[in-house]
Amino acid sequence: MRHVAYALGLATAVAFAGGASAKTLNWASQGDALTMDPHAQNEGPTSTMNSQVYDSLILRDSKLAKIPGLAVSWKPVEPSVWEFKLREGVKFHEGQPFNADDVVFSFQRALSETSDFKNYVNSIETVDKVDDYTVRITTKGPNPILPDQISSIRIMDKEWSEQHGVQAPQNYKEKEETHAVRNANGTGPFILAKRDPDIETRMTVNEAWWGWGVSDPKTNVSEIVYRPIANPATRVAALLSGELDFVLDPPLQDLARIKATPGLKVEQVNQIRTIFFGVDTGVDKLRHTEVAGGNPFKNPKVREAMYRAIDIDTIRKKTMRGMSFPAGIITSPGVHGYTEALDERLGYDVDAAKKLLAEAGYPNGFKVQLDCPNDRYNNDEAICQATVGMLAKIGIEVSLNARSKSIHFKSLQNKESDFYMLGWGVPTLDSHYVFSYLAASKGSWNFTGFADARLDELTTLMETETDSAKRDAMIKEAWDILKASNVYLPLHHQVIAWGMKDGLTLPIVPNDSPQFRTAQWK
Amino acid sequence: MAVDVEPRRAAASDRPKAPSSALGRLLDSDLWWSFTRSPVTVTAAVVTLAYLLAALFAPLVTPQNPFDPASLVYADAFTPPAWTEDGMARYLLGTDDQGRDILSTLVYGARISLLVGFAAVLFSAVLGISLGILSGYVGGFVETLIMRTADIQLTVPGILIALMIDGVVRVQVGGEMDEKLAIMVLVVAIGISDWPKYARVTRGATLVERNKEYVQAARVIGIHPFLIMLRHILPNVMGPVLVIATIGLALAIISEATLSFLGVGMPPTTPSLGTLIRIGNNFLFSGEWWITFFPCLALVGLALSVNLLGDWLRDALNPKLR
Amino acid sequence: MVSYVIRRLLQAALVMLVVAFVSFSLFRFAGDPVNNMVGQEATQEDRRELRERLGLNDPFPVQFGRFVVDALQGEFGISYRLQRPVEDLIAERMPATLELVLVSAVLALITGIPLGVYCGIHRDSWVSRALLTVSLIGVSLPTFVIGILLIYLFSVQMLVLPSFGRGEVVQIGWWSTGFLTFSGWQALILPSITLSLFQLTLIMRLVRSEMLEVMRTDYIKFARARGLSNRAINFGHALKNTLVPVITIVGLNIGSLIAFSIITETVFNWPGMGLLFIKAVQFADVPIMAAYLTMVAFVFVSINLLVDLLYYAIDPRLKVDRGTAAGRLS
């Protein structure tokens, strides 16, 4: 297997040794995808990488509107049954034909124990093949947002998966290594040519992609080469010097410089991602520090005090260079259920915060550890550092534990954090996604210990409610409950900025996931 | 690393009479004369002394304690140096991304650099001298073991050993260390690599002293010969030890900065010079040059001054090369 | 002769065994290997079973023996972070590091020796004084500062040289080389200068002091008395005599070049072993750390052994004390 990889590497290296052709697209970001297994990790950069190679039944365009993908059409045939007509004549990269068996297989795979995409599909009862190009999905109750959810479920080839023993997703938490981790066989616009994690990932254009001239005009990019560059200064230097054509996450402080550099431009859009802190109200004692009287986060006054002590406007001005919008809830404009009224923040007020803290029985504050990623969100570590200073002003002594995202997320999932930073995007563009992951008592990313029976009930109800007015009321009620609890201290909605060469057209997408199939060189 | 140890050992042990005290020897007219004759050395000494004093009295000479998060004014972050258009008089060299006064941070950062440097040098000197005397005095298998280990260790670059030790501690604590632990780990990690140099020098001197009559005599009056030897050998090896220590100090300061730059040294909430450079490096292209420029300058200034002192000491104590 | 060689080989083997022991202890005791492999939900039963399967319940010497046997076959387990066999990861990244080190060593030699010779001959000229001072500044400048400076000047301000990566590489069997492409050479320039500067100053200072020593010997005085030209004396006699220790040091310093490449690789995002190692330290990825330690130690021990044997071959009188040579060079 290693030799195959080398041989492939040799082929591509020789083919492009003659110098960078204008049709190659070199790009970089701070951290690599965690795996190429399309169902193992529900994480932004991982999905971005996988979506170049794998298609879903339903794709998103650059405005995130749903467009036909491997399914040409879909409609509900009964309240809880959706029927999908599949595209004919599509082939996987290694030549296998695409049909209904692959769809059934992929959904079962996404539903299996080691999948990280279960929450997208857990409303599904069965997936049935009607004929080779028709599939019916039966849900546990009526599910109006199923098409939104399954746009994140990527389709693999059944034969290939069986041949390579990857019928189940890689068990990421247990560090499993499977064939699908470094190899991919999708139907997508690009073919994985070389995957060298942490060093280089090469994808060549799939000339035979079904979508050319159907969903998008044919790209003139022949190859995309990705290299992770963790150091922000190196990353921006490489863009400025022309070695890179596209940088997904140029440091915010360098945007002005990039704009001012001839031949480079910055594309900007509000991102569907909100950054916030979470506190664990569930444990009786903090894990990392000793606080007299048990877990201070159990007291709502403490949470409000911390909220009010954060000067988000100054964070916006200084650290974010204006590239953020202060948030009142943990989801962004563009997500169904978001309203400006909900997004109102509690005012920044140090004196009130001190008073609240004193009323809660902590006039002299307490000590706590803040866990932060340092390579995931825009200026994540700097925001945390600033928070350390702001909380110090009301007497809370914070020790900062900044680490790489792969350690951070694993530690969160193992429930090892008292106070942590997290960011959340919403691929389904519906508030239900937020509740089911972050607020429901069994939500797999709810590390706050927050459990509210009514909210759990609402979350379940909105899965099957088809009356949109009623459903909207449920979403509103759920947001009010979550917002009042202050178990999440919202910070801001991110703004995406991509840096690229003037000659490159690559429409910016609000989920920060570039669609290289739309890229065009001038 | 470019320390030329061997000739010095010869030079030191050639000296027939043991001077009365280490200080007396330092101010030995020969040395003092060569010192005053070299303006570069005098400058280096003055600069080093200034660093030392500033670091020692950091709270008195700085307008802000950058390690106390409550004292920072975050709204003042990214203020350029005072003499520029947007500068503020309060922040002579400007502020960093967290609103820390650069000047204060430099002083506190240099304090960590010097603390780690001195402690590391002390650690390796104590370890090296003890092992050197031990191997010279006991001889045999112990000597072979110690000196062979020294040989092997000298071929392994210190930075690698330091990274290894840091890595092991990181495995044990599982992630980021707090600043006290970080300092201790840095001291041991950096200090451990230099002991063989001290060990060689003291072993040589011990071999000379071992069979002298006073050592035998000490036995008779019931004092442990080890203590006696320590007292007699130390002055003899003072010269070379001082040279090794001075150059070791410069190396330790650079090593600490390097480790911090690599992100495995001091945490960003209590930055040393290396951490500051790492942070500032992110703002090099956006025009906030002062965040990385001044720490670089301070680091190079400190390392260069100490290196110059070490260089001069080596030449002064090794007349052959003059 | 034979007995000497055998003794040295045994010594080298012993050193490697000690290093292997350190690596093994790291592997075994720094953090529970089982905890590093399973998730939180794993039951006690799972853990016990894994423990049994990994042989962690065997007696200590048995475990160590197994580790040594595996290491001899180049097997160091699976990286915690990248989830791939460590030996594959190292094999993939080794060419990048070795090419960088090679170019840097050559660069340091071809500039360091002439400068050192010059300073040795014209010991009192202002040029050599200036060179010495500059070299001291060079020693005081941390590698990463030099790297940042070079990137800022040549990649950002002048836009002439790449600031990261290896450029295009060509795959020859399992070896990937940047020597065969233009962009590969371009990418080498800044990192190799950064890495070589420290060694350059070291070689220059060493050649200078060796030259000074040699120039004082009777041998040179006689040559002068015989009326040989300065040129013949300087290069024919003096330099020739200084070269043996210089070559030795450069050989021994290959090891420290490999170690210092950790820093250079970090600054330039050079995809070599150093970058792999520093990430392993940051992520507490023990298998990679253990393998890197063993491998670098192996390189050191081999070079030392080679140098010793060469010394012995050239001049049997030198066999007595090699430690001395290492001491002055470090």
Is A373 in CB contact (< 8 Å) with chain B? no
Smallest Cα–Cα separation from A123: which of A433, A497, A501? A433
> Which CATH number is A312's domain given?
3.10.105.10
Is B273 in CB contact (< 8 Å) with chain C? no
A324 and A452 housed in the same domain: yes
What pLDDT, on a 0 to 100 scale, did the predictor assign at position C54?
Answer: 66
Q: How confident is the model at residue C63 (pLDDT cuts 50, 70, 90)?
A: confident
User: Half-sphere exposure of residue A162, counting CA atoms within 13 Å on the CB side?
Assistant: 7
Contacts of C259 in chain B (CB under 8 A): 156-157, 159-160
Tens digits of residue pLDDT in A86-134: 999 999 999 999 999 999 999 999 999 889 898 889 889 999 999 999 9
In the block, which residue shows the tokens 């005072």? B82
- Strand partners of residue A400: A370
| Number of C-beta neighbours around residue C261 at 10 A | 28
Is B264 in CB contact (< 8 Å) with chain C? yes
How many Å separate Cα C309 from the centre of its chain?
20
Number of domains in chain A: 2
Domain hosting A203: range is 14-263+502-521
**Cβ atoms of A168 and A109 closer than 8 Å:** yes
A243 and A299 housed in the same domain: no
Core vs surface per residue C98-127: b (16+ CB within 10 A) or e: bbbbebbbebbbebbbebbbbbbbeeeeee
Q: Flag whether A320 is in a domain.
A: yes
What pLDDT, on a 0 to 100 scale, did the predictor assign at position C32?
Answer: 61
CATH of the domain spanning C91-283: 1.10.3720.10
Average pLDDT over residues B273-283: 88
Domain hosting B164: range is 41-301
Tens digits of residue pLDDT in B117-133: 999 999 999 999 999 98
A256 and A358 housed in the same domain: no
From the CA of A40, how many Å to the nearest CA of chain C?
14
> Which CATH number is A58's domain given?
3.40.190.10
Q: Flag whether B220 is in a domain.
A: yes
Q: Is the pLDDT of residue C244 over 80?
A: no
A53 and A150 housed in the same domain: yes
Q: Flag whether B35 is in a domain.
A: no
- Strand partners of residue C176: C171
Is A174–C42 a contact, with Cβ atoms under 8 angstroms apart? yes
Average pLDDT over residues B207-222: 76
Is C252 in CB contact (< 8 Å) with chain B? yes
Number of domains in chain B: 1
Amino acid at A398: V
**Strand, helix or coil at A68?**
strand
Q: Would you give the DSSP letter of residue B47?
A: H
As given in the structure block, the two tokens for residue B226 are: 């080890």
Contacts of A391 in chain B (CB under 8 A): 69
**Cβ atoms of A342 and A479 closer than 8 Å:** yes
A162 and A295 housed in the same domain: no
Average pLDDT over residues A233-254: 89
Average pLDDT over residues A355-384: 92
A298 and A441 housed in the same domain: yes
Query: Which of C171, C276, C283 is the closest to A13 by Cβ?
Result: C171
A214 and A326 housed in the same domain: no
Helices (H), A374-427: 380-392, 405-413
A79 and A110 housed in the same domain: yes
Q: Is the pLDDT of residue B176 over 70?
A: no
A211 and A154 housed in the same domain: yes
Contacts of C267 in chain A (CB under 8 A): 231, 234
From the CA of A404, how many Å to the nearest CA of chain C?
8
Q: Flag whether B206 is in a domain.
A: yes
Contacts of C175 in chain A (CB under 8 A): none
> Which CATH number is B47's domain given?
1.10.3720.10
Q: Flag whether B36 is in a domain.
A: no
A99 and A58 housed in the same domain: yes
- Strand partners of residue A372: A402
Q: Minimum mean pLDDT among A31-45, A221-235, A278-292, B198-212: which range?
A: B198-212
Q: Is the pLDDT of residue A308 over 70?
A: yes
Smallest Cα–Cα separation from B256: which of B306, B207, B293, B199? B306
**Strand, helix or coil at A376?**
coil
Average pLDDT over residues A384-404: 91
Tens digits of residue pLDDT in C121-179: 887 888 888 888 888 888 888 888 899 888 888 877 787 888 888 888 888 888 888 89
Query: Which residues, numbered 381 to 420 in chain A, qualify as contacts with chain B under a Cβ-Cβ cut-off of 8 Å?
Result: 381-382, 385-386, 388-393, 398-403, 407, 411
Q: Is the pLDDT of residue B16 over 50?
A: no
Q: Flag whether A454 is in a domain.
A: yes
Of A482 and B281, the structure prediction assigns the larger pLDDT to A482
Q: Flag whether A236 is in a domain.
A: yes
Tens digits of residue pLDDT in B30-66: 777 778 788 888 999 999 999 999 999 988 888 888 8
**Cβ atoms of A488 and A482 closer than 8 Å:** yes
Q: How confident is the model at residue B24 (pLDDT cuts 50, 70, 90)?
A: low
Tens digits of residue pLDDT in B165-174: 887 787 777 6
Element (H, E) at C303: helix C286-314
Q: Minimum mean pLDDT among B227-231, C52-56, C84-88: which range?
A: C52-56
Is C84–A13 a contact, with Cβ atoms under 8 angstroms apart? no
Q: Interface pTM (ipTM) of the complex?
A: 0.78
Is A137 in CB contact (< 8 Å) with chain B? no
Is B74–A253 a contact, with Cβ atoms under 8 angstroms apart? no
Domain extents in chain C:
2-72, 91-283
A47 and A145 housed in the same domain: yes
Q: Flag whether B127 is in a domain.
A: yes
Of B97 and A310, the structure prediction assigns the larger pLDDT to A310
